Structure 1
Amino acid sequence: MASVVGLLEDRELAARVRVEGLREEADRVLTELAQAERDWQEWLIARQRVDEVLSAPRRSETGVVGPVSVENSCVLKPEVAAEVPSVGAPATGAARAGSIVPVWRPALTVDVLAVDYQQILAALVERRTKEDGVMTCQEITVVLGLELCPASVEGVRSKMQRLADRGWAVEPAPGRFALADGPSWGS
């Protein structure tokens, strides 16, 4: 007859093997998800560019050289746009825009996240120090200086959901987000 300790060790080993297998599968799925998100983003940008080119009046018609703004687009407010770094110049040492959000673990800092995710987390940090720390996607959109339109709010919502899914934030109530307890936010 096998000992109780031996049976427990066998079950512990089986559980550990299962956890490691699931972690490998999760990493594979996250990698595939990141590639799919990049592909989707590239197609979205391509479609937006084609729409912009097709909707812009010809130079000979307007006498204007340069880009023409499209009505109902979501853009940064002018006072915020001056403070945002250009797309071609990412911050030194920071993750590039569009990079995946890694699952939070103790060794990670906010610097591994793209700038837009860092800005969202900074808004949550500021709210935590002043109030209850919980924000809606509309509130985050306003704090980031984005125009309050469905596209901007949905962009923030998808980023917040990604941060919550990966342990950087929590969703204590549907549509309301706060910082997770685990990550260290520094000063």
Structure 2
Amino acid sequence: MPSVIGLLEQREARAQGELESWLEVLRQAQEEVATAQKRAERARVAREELVQALAEEGVESGPVPPLEAGAAAEPGGGRADVGFDERPPQWRPGMDEAALSGMYREVFRIVAAAEGAVAGAELARGLGRGDQKNEVEKARHRAYTLEARGWLVRESGGLFRCAPGTSGLVAQVAFPASAERPRPGGG
């Protein structure tokens, strides 16, 4: 009959082996994330420098469609996914919702039209995406991006509202999330 201590030592050794295996997976994943972050940052800086250089030369640079922008940079022709919007610009005084594109604009409109702070599930419903977890996460991700760019602020509990100075920027446009609610400050 094996000893209890011997069985526990075997169990501990197996658990330690699993832990080391998972730590290695985590280390590799962290390296991949760091590499992807560096690549994304380099691409962002390059784009911003190009836009600035074109502006200094007096050349007007409009938004580049996502498929054309990714096609040259990605092996195999780039992303063919539909539904990816150009990242929103950093908010500055004088900017309005016209600076936003696609779902970013719609998320901003939903938050601006709400009477209070808006949760991710409400954003997804306002976008007509339902309550499926992945759709809620897509809407929430857009709101996080808008928060990082100064368009929205996040409150405790993961609720979003317009950042100071941005709430009056939405044109009176009817869309599902605001059909039954008045706009804040709109009377």
**Which band: TM-score by shorter chain?**
0.3 to 0.5
Larger radius of gyration: 2
Give me the TM-score of the superposition, normalised by structure 2. Answer: 0.47
